[in-house]
Structure 1
Amino acid sequence: MTLTILVVVIAIIGYFIFKLYNHDNTTFYQLTGYSYFDLLLNKSVRTSYQLMNELEHVQGSKKIMMNLKLPVHNEVQTIDALLLHESGIYVVNVKKKSGWINGREQSIEWIELLHKNRKNVFNNPIHETKRLIHALKDRLPEVDGALFETMVVFTNDCSFQQIEIHSSDVEVLKIAELKKWAAALEGKRLSDTEIEKLYATLETFTHDINTTLRSEAVTSVS
């Protein structure tokens, strides 16, 4: 019995060492510094990891950035993720929801329908993202404004009941749908050099990632 327990303990330790090693070699860890245990224990970190994992599979020249902090009117606004891709600049706003989502592009507020006829009203995430894009454009005045695309990405726990989008530069989808979205990307509007230059310019806005995410995970629900 003692030998069996010892073997099990060694197997468990070996499993975690293997997982830790693999995690420490991921792009997600290199960008955020979050440990494997952060991934296990923090739902917000897991959501960011899922998003990062999908964006990494986008084909073509690209750079991915996470949690950019932009000063906007004496406040700090966060861009959850930014995909600098040969086809454009995709500004990603992540929403963690679990009910039925209803919203129109022009509406001020959207609605999440929950169990037992409860509902949660939240700010239009498209408008939120567009404000972030305007702030980003202010930092990148030399970049063609037509390159910027609005992406609102919901967690897989929710369902879309009625979403009305009219603009061609706006996408509203769930994390699980990113693979299909990425397969449809086409065109080369940014060169490798331009992508690298944009990345270098924006890298200064990726500080204090861990502190902010941990705070948001504890005190808020997007």
Structure 2
Amino acid sequence: MKLLGVKSFQSIPQNKSVKTKSYAQENQEYYESIIKSNSFNFNDRFNICPNKSDLGDYGEFLTFKEIVRWSSNYSYNYKILRNLNIGTHCEIDLVWIHETGIYVFESKNISGLICGNENSNQWHQTLNNRLKKQLYNPIFQNNGHINALKRILGNNYFYCSIIVFSERCVLDEIPSNTHSRIITKRNYLKSKLTEKITSEQSKLSIAQIEALYRKLLPYTYASQDIKQKHSDYINKKYGNKDNNDDDVDLPF
């Protein structure tokens, strides 16, 4: 799923009286249309994707959907980009450019018991009382994503790391949230966003949001060669990312 820019509404003749849509309303309608046209919607009632090879993409879609649904209750200005490839070593799940800052999402659509501390290179996933596998510290991972964005956009913005786990997991002995970091399960994402956004002041104008969006938009058009090189890099460094066997607790 590729997120494109919101198309500008055609200019309205002066003699017609119409109610102009706000920037936020235009964005809301555009992103809602993406949700409605996405094939993953068919599986929403299961809150899981039947094809285990699509678990990661499905988790990203659900996170994207939560953000758009949350935004419908507010009139904030924002833009969303998904799947940004910065070089071959950095693939960012989702970036939400909001009037209060730049929010960088890392989605972990896995189940089991998840534990890890702030400074450990590896966290652990345990399922059915047995160690299933290790996962690279998502704090380190998303900090790397934010640093990549800073090299493009600069340091003069508020960046917040948001790591979203599946509803099917249990988060145990993980680091606490901070001003610039949230670790949560997806079913708590809306409440965490409400708590975070309402505590922040607006920092970005519509023009700034648009400029940042346009600067990042080219990174969503990665070639298949770049995507393959990124996949090869991840597989070599962390193991086969495509061999996702997190289907022990699936209903099918």
CA distance in 2, matches of 1:210, 1:43: 20
Do structure 1's residue 48 and structure 2's residue 64 form an aligned pair? no
Do structure 1's residue 68 and structure 2's residue 71 form an aligned pair? no
Q: How big is the alpha-carbon RMSD for the aligned residues of Structure 1 and Structure 2? A: 3.1
Do structure 1's residue 87 and structure 2's residue 90 form an aligned pair? no
Query: Match for 2:188 among 170, 174, 177?
Result: 177
CA distance in 1, matches of 2:177, 2:62: 27
Q: Which residue of 2 aligns with 1:124?
A: 137
Do structure 1's residue 36 and structure 2's residue 39 form an aligned pair? yes
- Tell me the alpha carbon deviations over residues 119-148 of structure 1, each in whole angstroms, 9 at most, x when there is no partner: 32111100111011111110112x515x11
1:63 counterpart letter in structure 2: K
CA distance in 2, matches of 1:172, 1:37: 24
2:63 counterpart letter in structure 1: L
CA distance in 2, matches of 1:188, 1:35: 31
Q: Which residue of 2 aligns with 1:17?
A: none
Larger % of helix: which? 1
Q: Which residue of 2 aligns with 1:162?
A: 173
CA distance in 2, matches of 1:88, 1:166: 17
Do structure 1's residue 195 and structure 2's residue 195 form an aligned pair? no
Q: Which residue of 2 aligns with 1:107?
A: 120
Count the aligned residue pairs.
190
C-alpha contact (below 8 Å) 2:55/2:109 kept by paired residues: no
Percentage of identical aligned residues: 25
Query: Match for 1:98 among 99, 108, 111?
Result: 111
- Which residues in structure 2 correspond to 1:3-22 (within 5 Å)? none
- Which residues in structure 2 correspond to 1:204-219 (within 5 Å)? 204-208=218-222, 219=242
Pair 1:201–1:99, CA change in 2 (3 A): same
2:169 counterpart letter in structure 1: C
CA distance in 1, matches of 2:160, 2:78: 15
Shift of 1:61: 1.1
CA distance in 2, matches of 1:37, 1:87: 30
Shift of 1:48: 2.2
Structure 1 spans left out of the alignment, 5+ residues: 1-24
Pair 1:197–1:153, CA change in 2 (3 A): same
CA distance in 2, matches of 1:199, 1:66: 11
TM-score (normalizing by structure 2): 0.66
1:27 counterpart letter in structure 2: Y
C-alpha contact (below 8 Å) 2:40/2:58 kept by paired residues: no
Larger % of strand: which? 1
